[in-house]
């Protein structure tokens, strides 16, 4: 009887463009103006923003290397509030399929959450600055990535969109 060989499963990190981008940025640790489109803002969110008077020029979400570099020596790292260097694929997954989406009513940012536990009672939080203007360009910037307690999103500062 012939037993077929076990197939190696592809890890999520092998499938993630963001993980590859983060690995390249972390390898040299310097801001070099590199960018990557990591996702899109869904039509439901676009419609919600339009009702609030925010008209997006694009639905693409872009991250630049400065966002990754800032977490190398960030204070949040000591508190356990940053995503581990080998788990950026979870950020891309959060953008593709968020559990919840909020509007930060003070900053006018979008906040994507993946409530599938990252660590004990912690969830991934991705902050997007819509209509970000820089050097004559307007785009949606993935501004920050963090790990927070889910209860932090119960603040009146956040309005749930999804």
Q: Quick: pLDDT tens for 41-54.
A: 988 899 999 998 88
Is the pTM value of this prediction over 0.75? yes
* CA atoms of 100 and 133, how far apart (whole Å): 26
Whole-number mean pLDDT of the chain? 79
- Residue ranges of alpha helices (H) inside 63-151 are 65-70, 75-79, 89-96
Using pLDDT thresholds of 50, 70 and 90, give the confidence band for residue 60: very high
Indicate whether 21 pLDDT > 60: yes
Over residues 21-30, mean pLDDT: 88
Q: Quick: pLDDT tens for 91-111.
A: 788 888 888 888 898 888 988
Residue pair 83/147 in contact (Cβ under 8 Å)? The answer is yes
Using pLDDT thresholds of 50, 70 and 90, give the confidence band for residue 129: very high
Supply the DSSP string of 51-77, one letter for each residue. HTT---S--EEEEEHHHHHHTTS-HHH
pLDDT of residue 130: 93
pLDDT of residue 4: 43
- In this structure, of 7-16, 60-69, 147-156, the range with the lowest mean pLDDT score is 7-16
Domains of the chain, by residue range, sit at: 33-160
Candidates 161, 39, 145, 40; CA nearest to 104 is: 161
């Amino acid at each position: 009887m012939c037993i077929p060989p076990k197939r190696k499963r592809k890890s999520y990190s092998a499938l993630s463009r963001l993980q590859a981008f983060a690995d390249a940025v972390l390898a040299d640790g310097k801001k070099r103006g590199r960018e990557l489109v990591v996702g899109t803002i869904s039509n439901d969110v676009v419609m919600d923003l339009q009702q609030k008077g925010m008209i997006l020029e694009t639905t693409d979400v872009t991250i630049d290397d400065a966002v990754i570099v800032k977490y190398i020596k960030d204070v949040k790292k000591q508190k356990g509030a940053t995503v581990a260097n080998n788990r950026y694929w979870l950020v891309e997954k959060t953008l593709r399929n968020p559990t919840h989406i909020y509007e930060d009513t003070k900053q006018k940012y979008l906040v994507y959450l993946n409530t599938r536990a990252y660590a004990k009672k912690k969830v991934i939080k991705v902050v997007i600055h819509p209509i970000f203007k820089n050097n004559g360009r307007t785009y949606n910037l993935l501004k920050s990535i963090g790990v927070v307690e889910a209860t932090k999103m119960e603040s009146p500062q956040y309005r749930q969109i999804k």
